[in-house]
Structure formats: structure tokens, C-alpha cells
Amino acid sequence: MLGNEDALNAYLEKTCDTESELLKRIDRETYLREAMPHMLSGHFQGRVLSMLAKLVKPKRILEIGTFTGYATLCLAEGLDEEGMLHTIDINEELEERVQGYFDTSSFREQIKYHIGDAAEIIPTIEGNFDLVFIDADKKRNLYYFETLIDRVSSGGLILIDNVLWKGKVLTDNPDNQTRKVIELNETLAKDSRVEKLILPIRDGLFVLRKK
């Protein structure tokens, strides 16, 4: 018997669009081969990312934190026909497998996969972005936001994952990592450059629209 949360997740997945066969394969292989498979966006959040990207119809997307490429491919579903998605990850051990997923997809010519420190790679990527998805080192989320806000087009989106931090943002005595998440949320809530809301999806998704 599923617990309430599992049952709700199953219901959400049943009532949204299905995953592609490639996304199902990435999900399955991630859970078989990775030590922390929960880092994967998964079926429902993947459909949310796809929907947001399709609403924006971005010509340029930047993703910080590729992991096994599931969210990357979901975001790519909304790309303009001539659009480009840059995705950055520091884990070179996953490079060959993840590049293989991208090469198998219909977006293989539209995804540029960078391996290395995002703080060093971002300045080497020219131009502005219509959509940014930040899902990497949580301690640097605010740094990434401040670095990129002026490079996001008016009406563009910045999405930041894991902003509810397993509910720890409500604790009375937060640890250092949780304090960083709380600081990020409180700072963004006051930022007049963006419209903002947190979607309580999985671990919390901050959606920020550049004014």
C-alpha cells in the first residue's frame, strides 16, 4: 500500500503526459547505476519543466547541473527550432553516458554539454538567455542568480530547484546548508527585478520571471 505522498505522486504522474522512451531509459539507468538517483528531476517535474519551456519558447537555455541529462531533455522540448541549450556539469565521469543520451535524442544538434566548474564556464558562453535552470551546488545558487539576472531577457525565466530543502526551511534551528537556502529564498522574495513564486513540486521549484 502506497503512503499518501507516494500515492499522490503516482496520481500526478498518471494524469500528466507520459515520458518518452528515452526519458524512461534515463530514469531506469540512473536508479540502477547512480548513488544518489533522487537528484533526477523525474516524470512529473520533468513535465513541468517541459511545459514552462514550451510557454517561453526559448531560443537560448542555460542549465547549471546536468546530472544524467533528464531535465536537460525535458527543457529542450520547448526550444525554438533554431534554439540552443547549454548545460554544465562538473562530473566528468558521467560525460560519455550523458552525451550518449543527448546523441540519441532529436535535440543532439541543439545541446552543448560543458564539463567543468560552472563559475568558470558561464563567462565563456556568449549572449543572453530566455530560460535558466539552476540545479547544482546549493551554496552557490544566489551567486548564479546574481551572475545571470542581467543576462536573462525580459519575460524570461530563472528556475531554481530544491528551495524547500525537504521542509527544513521551516525548522527553528536550521543547519548551515539550510540557512543558505533560506537566505536565497528571502533575498529573492524581496528582489524587484523579478516576479516570483515557489511551486511545491518535489523539493520546491522557484520560478522567477524577469520583468
**Where are the chain's structural domains?**
4-210
Average pLDDT over residues 166-195: 94
Calculate mean pLDDT across residues 158-185: 94
8 A C-beta contact, residue 133 and residue 159: yes
Interatomic CA distance for residues 23 and 20, integer angstroms: 5
**Could you tell me which CATH class the domain 4-210 is placed in?**
alpha beta
The pLDDT assigned to 3 comes to 59
How far is the C-alpha of 8 from the C-alpha of 14, rounded, in Å? 10
Percent of the chain scoring above 70 in pLDDT: 99
- The phi, psi pair for 144, rounded to 5°, reads -60, -40
Q: Could you list the beta-strand ranges (E) of 119-184.
A: 129-134, 152-161
Tell me which amino acid residue 103 is: D
Site of grid cell 537560448: 60
198 has a pLDDT exceeding 80 = yes
CA 61, CA 72: separation in Å to the nearest integer? Answer: 9
Q: What is the pLDDT of residue 1?
A: 42
Which residue bears the cell 549572449?
Answer: 127
- Checking if the pLDDT of 2 tops 80, the result is no
Q: What is the mean pLDDT of residues 117-136?
A: 97
The whole-model pTM stands at 0.95
